[in-house]
């Protein structure tokens, strides 16, 4: 999910759906993902939240519209693409636009107790800060890329998502703590909101046209970038190459079609692959099984080991032949 916009994307919880907010006075108890120390929400509701606080670190990524967030005495205007860090136990309120979207990332900070540098980490977490293209040009691409990757890992859950999410969170804290030592360099960072807006439109176009015969040269030219500059921007924003992102998007959609019992060959062509061999090879790269094995996993109870708490399946038929990829 490299695109921060929600068109044609599935942001339903991987498991453990939310029931209701729990408030005692103005303190909210966070409903973390069951068995984990974090929860991420995609919110497109025009709902305001009065003053409240919680023990979680909150990170908000604004993807559409403008939000007004008050933290203590400070008022922050969160525009499209901006990232706001809200410290644990900071009293804050949120005023939402009539049409807007944001991602809300909540982390239990007790995770950091295991580090010797806990004091330094807590110092970083004690400050409210907004990171955007215009006010932190040298820092924004790296932080945006990490936030984007965390969201992608969370909503496309797999067994290693937790490790990846915390790795990116720690990277963000390191980047922020060292940001004063980084100089703005035109060659390595995105310094203009115009570039950002172009790039978001590119991602939206890919999201809506992944099944077409898209090429790096064509997309870069459409966006008004050189091939090499576009590749660099793409890597900065998504932590992925253009073709890796395109393939992962196609495989995500293929999994949904396979679950609907559509024939493998039909799925391959519908999501944009020109031949079955390439599709099977790519599918196995991103899922560690062939399309036919995947269909078997989701349709035959003897091939599924369901974890009751999570509903996540695991392929127990590791020795089955991968006839397509061969």
Q: 83, 59 in Cβ contact below 8 A?
A: yes
Q: 63, 203 in Cβ contact below 8 A?
A: no
Helix axes 161-177, 140-155, angle to 10 degrees: 170
User: For 193-227, what is each residue's pLDDT tens digit?
Assistant: 566 677 778 888 888 888 998 888 888 888 777 78
How confident is the model over 172-185, as a mean pLDDT? 62
Q: What's the CA gap between 279 and 31, in Å, rounded? A: 39
Query: By mean pLDDT, which of 86-90, 159-163, 300-304 is the weakest?
Result: 300-304
Q: 17, 34 in Cβ contact below 8 A?
A: no
Helix axes 118-125, 161-177, angle to 10 degrees: 80
- Closest C-alpha among 317, 322, 242 to residue 283: 322
Q: 131, 140 in Cβ contact below 8 A?
A: yes
Q: 254, 267 in Cβ contact below 8 A?
A: yes
Exposure letters 284-317 (e unless 16+ CB within 10 A, then b): bebbebbbbbbbbbeeeeebeeeeeeeeeeebee
- Closest C-alpha among 261, 179, 213, 242 to residue 3: 242
Q: 54, 29 in Cβ contact below 8 A?
A: yes
User: For residue 179, what pLDDT is reported?
Assistant: 62
Fold of the CATH domain 22-181? Jelly Rolls (2.60.120)
Q: What's the CA gap between 210 and 192, in Å, rounded? A: 27
Which secondary structure element, helix H or strand E, spans residue 61, and what is its range? strand 56-64
The span from the first CA to the last CA of the chain, in angstroms, equals 29
| Residues sharing a CB contact under 8 Å with residue 7, sequence separation 6 or more, in sequence order | 204, 207, 208
How confident is the model over 162-185, as a mean pLDDT? 75
User: For residue 157, what pLDDT is reported?
Assistant: 82
- Encoded tokens for 233: 């921007």
How confident is the model over 28-43, as a mean pLDDT? 92
- pTM, entire model: 0.57
Give the mean pLDDT of the chain: 80
Q: 221, 242 in Cβ contact below 8 A?
A: no
Confidence of residue 84 (pLDDT cuts 50, 70, 90): very high
User: For residue 290, what pLDDT is reported?
Assistant: 92
Q: 253, 209 in Cβ contact below 8 A?
A: no
Other Cβ atoms closer than 10 A to 20: 6
User: For 237-284, what is each residue's pLDDT tens digit?
Assistant: 777 888 888 998 899 899 889 988 889 999 999 999 988 999 999 999
User: For residue 195, what pLDDT is reported?
Assistant: 65
Q: 103, 151 in Cβ contact below 8 A?
A: yes
Domain ranges across the chain? 22-181
- Give yes or no for residue 4 having a pLDDT over 60: no
- Closest C-alpha among 258, 249, 234 to residue 324: 258
Q: 48, 41 in Cβ contact below 8 A?
A: no
How confident is the model over 44-65, as a mean pLDDT? 93
User: For 123-143, what is each residue's pLDDT tens digit?
Assistant: 888 889 999 876 676 788 888
The SS3 of residue 72 is coil
- Encoded tokens for 265: 């060959």
* In the block, residue with structure tokens 């031949």: 275
272 DSSP 8-state letter:
T
């Amino acid at each position: 999910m490299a695109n921060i916009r929600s068109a044609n994307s599935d942001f339903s919880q991987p498991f453990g759906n939310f029931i209701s907010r729990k408030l005692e006075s103005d303190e909210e108890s966070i409903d973390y993902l069951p068995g984990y120390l974090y929860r991420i929400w995609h919110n497109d509701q025009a709902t305001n939240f009065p003053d409240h606080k919680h023990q979680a670190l909150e990170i908000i990524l604004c993807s559409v519209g403008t939000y007004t967030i008050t933290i203590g005495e400070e008022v922050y205007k969160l525009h499209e693409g901006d990232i706001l860090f809200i410290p644990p136990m900071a009293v804050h309120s949120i005023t939402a636009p009539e049409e807007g979207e944001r991602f809300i990332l909540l982390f239990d900070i007790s995770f950091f107790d295991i580090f010797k540098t806990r004091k330094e980490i807590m110092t970083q977490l004690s400050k409210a800060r907004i990171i955007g293209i215009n006010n932190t040009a040298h820092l924004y691409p790296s932080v945006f890329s990490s936030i984007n990757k965390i969201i992608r890992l969370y909503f496309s859950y797999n067994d290693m998502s937790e490790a990846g999410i915390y790795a990116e969170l720690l990277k963000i804290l390191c980047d922020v703590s060292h940001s004063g030592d980084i100089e703005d360099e035109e060659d390595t960072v995105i310094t203009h909101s115009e570039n950002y807006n172009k790039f978001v439109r590119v991602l939206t176009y890919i999201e809506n046209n992944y099944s077409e015969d898209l090429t790096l040269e064509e997309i870069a030219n459409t966006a008004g970038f050189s091939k090499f500059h576009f590749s660099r921007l793409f890597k900065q924003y998504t932590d992925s190459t253009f073709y890796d992102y395109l393939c992962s998007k196609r495989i995500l959609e293929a999994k949904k079609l396979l679950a609907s019992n559509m024939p493998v060959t039909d799925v391959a062509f519908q999501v944009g692959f020109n031949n079955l061999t390439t599709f099977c090879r790519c599918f196995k790269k991103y899922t560690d099984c062939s399309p036919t094995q995947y269909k078997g996993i989701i349709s035959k109870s003897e091939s599924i080991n369901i974890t009751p708490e999570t509903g996540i399946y695991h392929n127990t038929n590791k020795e089955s032949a991968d006839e397509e990829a061969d």
